[in-house]
Amino acid sequence: MRENSLIESWLRGIAIAVVILFFMFPIVWIILMSFQTNETILRIPPSVVFEPTLDNYRALITGKLETNAASLDIAFMRNLGNSVLLSVGAVALALILGVPAAYSFARHKTRFSEDIAFTLLSFRFAPPLLVLLPLTIYFQKLGLSDTYFGLIWVYQLICLPLILWIVRGYFEDISEDVEYAYRIGGHSWFSTFRKIAVPLAGPGIAAAGLLAFIFAWNNFIFALVLASADKQPVTVGALAFVTASGIQYGQIAAAIVLSITPTLLLALYAQKYLVEGLSLGAVKG
């Protein structure tokens, strides 16, 4: 028995080590790569011993890449700015539209409101291209194809279901008695919503907002289909960068690191709420 459990704990330890190695190695390797010059990257065999350099990041931030042959312009910083603008805009709009709707769905359950809530949920699972392909044609006609607003509006497909269903759950958890007591005190419906319901559901709203931000940031297909060259976020920009300068491996690695850092940091910050967000409120962590 004793020996058995010793072997078992060894096996467990090895299994966990393998799991950590498999899931962490790519991230660590890309970070290491982003601090190397092309010469050290191309060494065979690969080695973790190298002189770290900030040249890759410098090239990305200044937008100028000096090579032996020529000087190359990189628009990556613009992509990064677009990502921030699009994600923040999409989340802000989704919160403005979604939080009152979530409140109404939690408090006044009607056939009508349930139907809307489930329609929105079903969008989460519909193939995005189904809607995006006709939208490319509409966007050209409406003149939206070159605007941030058009993209932010389409991003509601990702953000709104998430916000609606998570925040609705938080509102349902608030006892109606608290709100009723405040209403008895002669306060209007709106001030009850603003002063009681929203602050009590605050952590849930914040978590849903952070998650919606992460999903908007990580989205690729919407912007690939709809965004013009100067409105592209990092996901599309990074792929275009690889195609355009396929041999600048150090800069590509640095671009990937810069693109994934914001979501990874936010995820660490909001990890307590991730489980609930990922399951749209069905599983609590």
Partner 1 sequence: MSDHSLASPPPKRRFRIGRRVLPYLLSMPALLVCIGILVPFVTAALYSLQRYRLSQPWARKYNWGENYLNFLSDPSFWNTLKISLVYAGTTVTLELFLGLGIALLLQKRTRFNNFVSIMLLMPLMTAPVLAALMWKLMTNSGFGILSYMVSLLGIQDFRWASSPDTALLTVVLVDIWVYTPFIMILLLAGLRSLPSQPFEAAALDGVPRTFVFWKITLPMLMPYILTATLFRLLDSIQQFDIIYAMTQGGPGDKLTVFQVEAYLNFFQSTNIGRSAALMMILWAITFVLSNIFIKNWLKLRERAR
Binding to partner 1 (CB under 8 A) within 42-71 occurs at 42-46
What does the block give as tokens for 233?
Answer: 């976020």
Name which of residues 172 to 191 contact partner 1 (CB under 8 A).
Answer: 172-173, 181, 183-186, 188-189
Q: How far is the CB of 72 from partner 1 (least distance, A)?
A: 19
Q: How far is CA 164 from CA 9, 158, 214, 237, in A?
A: 44, 11, 16, 30
Among 151, 197, 227, 280, binds partner 1 (CB under 8 A): 280
3 binds partner 1 (CB under 8 A): no
| DSSP states of 81-128 | HHHHHHHHHHHHHHHHHHHHHHHHHHHS--HHHHHHHHHHHHHHHS-H
Which residue type does 200 have? L
Q: Which member of 9, 10, 21, 24 binds partner 1 (CB under 8 A)?
A: 24
User: How far is residue 241 from each of residues 31, 72, 253, measured CA to CA in Å?
Assistant: 18, 11, 11
**Pick 71 or 282: Cβ nearer partner 1:** 282
The only residue of 121, 144, 198, 200 in contact with partner 1, by rule CB under 8 A: 121
Give the nearer residue to partner 1 in terms of CB position, either 55 or 172: 172
- Say whether residue 253 binds partner 1 (CB under 8 A): yes
Q: Does the protein bind partner 1 through residue 14 (CB under 8 A)? A: no
Residue of 35, 76, 103, 273 that binds partner 1 (CB under 8 A) = 103
Complex with partner 1: residue 169 or 209, whichever CB lies closer: 169
What mask of x and - would describe binding to partner 1 in positions 153 to 172, judged by CB under 8 A?
x--xx--x---x----x--x
Q: Which two tokens stand for residue 191?
A: 């001030």
> Could you tell me if 233 and 79 are in contact, meaning their C-beta atoms sit under 8 angstroms apart?
yes
Tell me if 220 sits within 8 A of 124, measured CB to CB.
Answer: no
Q: Is 244 in the site for partner 1 (CB under 8 A)?
A: no
Give dist(CA 126, CA 181) in Å, integer. Answer: 42
H-run or E-run covering 163: helix 156-173
Site for partner 1 in 82-101 (CB under 8 A): 96-98, 100-101
Q: Which two tokens stand for residue 155?
A: 């991003």
Instruction: Say whether residue 282 binds partner 1 (CB under 8 A).
Output: yes
- The three-state secondary structure class of 66 is strand
**265 DSSP β-pair partners:** none
Q: Which of 4, 51, 69, 125 binds partner 1 (CB under 8 A)?
A: 125
